[in-house]
Structures are given as structure tokens and as C-alpha cells.
Homo-oligomer: A and B are copies of this chain.
Amino acid sequence: MLKRNQNMAKLQSGYLFPEINRRKREFLQKNPNAKLISLGIGDTTEPITRHIAKALYDAAKGLGTERGYMGYGDEQGMAALREKIASVMYGGKVAAEEVFVSDGAKPDIGRLQLLFGNDAVVAVQDPAYPVYIDSTVMYGKTGKYNNAAKQFENIVYMPCTPENNFFPDLKKMPRADVIFFCSPNNPTGAVATREQLQQLVNYARKNKSIIIFDAAYSQYISDKNIPKSIYEIEGAEETAIEINSFSKSIGFTGVRLGWSVVPNELKFDDGSLVRNDWNRISTTLFNGASSIAQCGGLAALDGEGLQEMKKLVLFYMENARIIKAALQDIGYEAYGGDNAPYIWAKAKGNGSWDAFEYLLERANIVTTPGVGFGQCGEGFLRFSAFGHRKNIKEAVKRLKKL
């Protein structure tokens, strides 16, 4: 038969979360009465708020009427939504035509890989959201997996650890063409300061690199001095693409809605606009986010929607505070959780998977093993702040009993 795409064969085991689910299922088979609490996957748990939910069901209802029916929309998103994202989320620093509405950051990352030739060198934070690396491998931009180093060849890993305050040492970093950078960070919960982001932008300008700035958790930034967008940094429009999402800010993980920004100032070496190629990719390989979801996104960005968004984020951030305090109480080194819905905690003594199994068996709590996000995550666990309050309280009670 036909030859397999050899890049697929380079990938390591499954994607992290299927593996966690497998272990969870195995545990439940042995312990059918265990009441698991998940602080694992970063999935929102609270109902969609009133005003935004109403926009969704009004749109759905409208589809059943001649007046409210919507067929294909522009692949790049409804004009009104693109304008609203530009004005509300970027205060007009970005033009509507630079905004591309999508079905989320993950699929956008997959498509963004097509912007760059397969000889492009990609840099990622270590630890990082696995999709950056896996998509890079699938497209053939890496060498083989090095079993000793447990890293792929031809990827630049940027260690982000407590030792460097979770910001890479750019002076020591080898040149990369494309830099995935996530702040507030998944999984560490760290945020980059204005000065750090300026360093990053300066590095990219000097090295003619493109930053793909993943701001999916930007709404969780409570510190007023921390930039919510890379475009708050001088020169970023010449060097950065931003991706973002409605998933975590308004609970749209299942509804599917996100966006990317590709500024007109961002150009390839031949002077052509990156935005033009992104437009071609978006219109050719994507058919727009669901019209219902887009109507929800519109509602989220009006006065009432923004208030609901804020309230929902505060709810999850209170969860984060509770979890972080409990972890510190029982002697874990805990990071993040102040401007991000994740707490990054150093497991005592053992490696990540041992710590994962320990909490699963002893407290029936599901976490995410830090090593699943990269070698620099070894020894850590990620705790997600998404959960019903009563579950968070119960989890904390169990943690304190350990």
C-alpha cells in the first residue's frame, strides 16, 4: 500500500491527555467506587453565562427562520465580530482585516504551520503546550526524536523553570525562525512582564524570526502591569502573530471559537504580506467558525458580555487561589495561579508520573504530569483551576489529609 507520512512515525506515543484518560480509566476499573476529582485537563466547567447563552440560543432559533437563517459566512469571520475583537480586545491597535476568527487556537496552530516552509526552525518554551511541537513534527520541520535527550532534533527548546523565573535566557538561545510563546503560560501559569516581552520582540526583530504569541489565557491577567497582548509591545506588529480564544474566558471549550491576528506590517523576506498567505490558507482550508458560536462571541464583547466574562474569570481565579494556598500549606513549591488558571507545583521527591499516580491513588485527584509538557516539566504537576467550587474544596480537603 501507500507510504506513510514518515513525519507521523516520528511522533512520540499519544497526545498527553488521551494517556491520562487511559490511566484514569484503568484506575476506575480497579476502584469502581472511587470519586475522582479532575484538576487535570484545562476544561471549563461552569455554565455559559446568561447574556452570552441567550445570544447562542437566539442564533440557533433564528436559523430555523427565513430571516435568521445564515449559510456560509466569510471564512475569516463575521465582519461585525472581527471589528469588535479589534476594538474591544485591542483598543483599535489592530484593524478588523487583521483579525481572523476561527474554531479555536489548536486548529489555528495546525494551519499556521503552513505559513512557513518545512525548513523553518521552530522554538518552543520547555515545558509547553504539546501541540506546538507535535504540529511541527507532523509537518516535517524537525529531525528525529532523540531518545537520550527525549527531545526532537532541529527544535530549539527554551527552558522555562523556577531558576530563570520561567523566562528563557535569550542570549544563550540558538537562532529560530518561528518562536511559539505562550503567556500567561500553559502549563506553568507564569506571565511575562512588559520588559521580558520587549526583549522577546527585540530578539525576534534582530533575528528575523516570527513570534506566534499564544494569548489564550490573557483574560486571566489581573496584574495591571502585565500586557494582555503582544501588540502592547513596541515593534511587535512587525514580528508577531497572536492567537487567542473564547474557550477559557467564557467557557466556549465545546462551542469552539477563537481568533488570530496577523498584522499588515508583518512581511516575508520577499516583501509579501504574511497576512495575505494567512488569508489564502484560511479561505482555502477552513470554512469559518460556526455561525452560532460567532453570535455568542459578539455578545461576549458587548458591555453585558464583558461583565459576565470578568465574573466567570474571577470565579476560576478564586479556585486557583484556593488550590495554590492548599498546595503551599502542605509543603509543595507552587508557582503560577495569580494571572493564570494553572498552578505549577513541584512534586516532592519523585518524577511527574509517580506524583500523578500518587495523587490519583491516595487522593483520587487527577492532575497533569508536568513532564508531559517537556523535559523541563519533569518533577512538576499542573493543577487546573477549572472546576465546580465544591469539587475544588473537596480536593483541597483531600490534599490536606495526605
Q: Note all chain B residues with C-beta closer than 8 A to A397.
A: none
Q: Note all chain B residues with C-beta closer than 8 A to A15.
A: 280, 283-284
A135 touches which of B59, B61, B272, B285 (Cβ 8 Å): B285
**Cβ of A43 under 8 Å from chain B:** yes
Please tell me if the beta carbons of A2 and B120 are within 8 angstroms of each other in the complex.
yes
Q: Note all chain B residues with C-beta closer than 8 A to A70.
A: 254
Please tell me if the beta carbons of B2 and A131 are within 8 angstroms of each other in the complex.
no
Bound CA–CA A290/B53 (angstroms) = 14
Q: Note all chain B residues with C-beta closer than 8 A to A256.
A: 103, 287-291
User: Which of these binds chain B: A106-114, A224-232, A356-364?
Assistant: A106-114
**Cβ of A150 under 8 Å from chain B:** no
Bound CA–CA A7/B209 (angstroms) = 19
Those of A225-256 within 8 Å (CB) of chain B? 251, 253-256
Q: Note all chain B residues with C-beta closer than 8 A to A266.
A: 1
Bound CA–CA A209/B109 (angstroms) = 30
**Cβ of A293 under 8 Å from chain B:** yes
Bound CA–CA A103/B256 (angstroms) = 10
Bound CA–CA A398/B301 (angstroms) = 45
User: Which of these binds chain B: A44-52, A85-93, A195-203?
Assistant: A44-52
Please tell me if the beta carbons of A139 and B110 are within 8 angstroms of each other in the complex.
no
A116-B2, A285-B107 known; A64 and B54 CB under 8 Å? Answer: yes
Please tell me if the beta carbons of A5 and B117 are within 8 angstroms of each other in the complex.
yes
CB A280 to nearest CB in B, in angstroms, measures: 7
**Cβ of A222 under 8 Å from chain B:** no
CB A319 to nearest CB in B, in angstroms, measures: 15
A47-B65, A290-B256, A291-B254 known; A117 and B4 CB under 8 Å? Answer: yes
**Cβ of A281 under 8 Å from chain B:** yes
What is the copy number of this chain in the assembly? Answer: 2
Cβ proximity bits A208-222 to B, threshold 8 Å, 1 near / 0 not = 111000000000000
Question: A57: nearest residue on chain B (CB-CB)?
Answer: B60
Q: Note all chain B residues with C-beta closer than 8 A to A41.
A: 72
**Cβ of A333 under 8 Å from chain B:** no
Please tell me if the beta carbons of B48 and A69 are within 8 angstroms of each other in the complex.
yes
A15-B283, A60-B59, A110-B111 known; A268 and B2 CB under 8 Å? Answer: yes
Bound CA–CA A253/B291 (angstroms) = 9
Bound CA–CA A63/B114 (angstroms) = 34
A4-B277, A104-B287, A116-B5 known; A50 and B72 CB under 8 Å? Answer: no
**Cβ of A118 under 8 Å from chain B:** yes
Please tell me if the beta carbons of B2 and A269 are within 8 angstroms of each other in the complex.
yes
Bound CA–CA A205/B267 (angstroms) = 45
Which residues of A does B touch, CB under 8 Å? 1-9, 11, 14-15, 18, 41, 43-50, 53-54, 56-57, 59-61, 63-66, 68-73, 103-104, 106-107, 109-111, 114-120, 130-131, 134-135, 138-140, 177-178, 208-210, 251, 253-256, 266-270, 272, 277, 280-281, 283-293
Query: 17 A-B Cβ contacts within 8 A?
Result: A2-B177, A4-B269, A8-B281, A11-B280, A44-B71, A46-B69, A47-B65, A48-B64, A57-B60, A57-B64, A72-B253, A73-B254, A131-B284, A131-B285, A254-B288, A254-B290, A255-B292
What 8 A-B pairs come out closest when comparing CB atoms? A53-B64, A110-B285, A4-B268, A254-B291, A57-B60, A56-B60, A43-B71, A70-B254
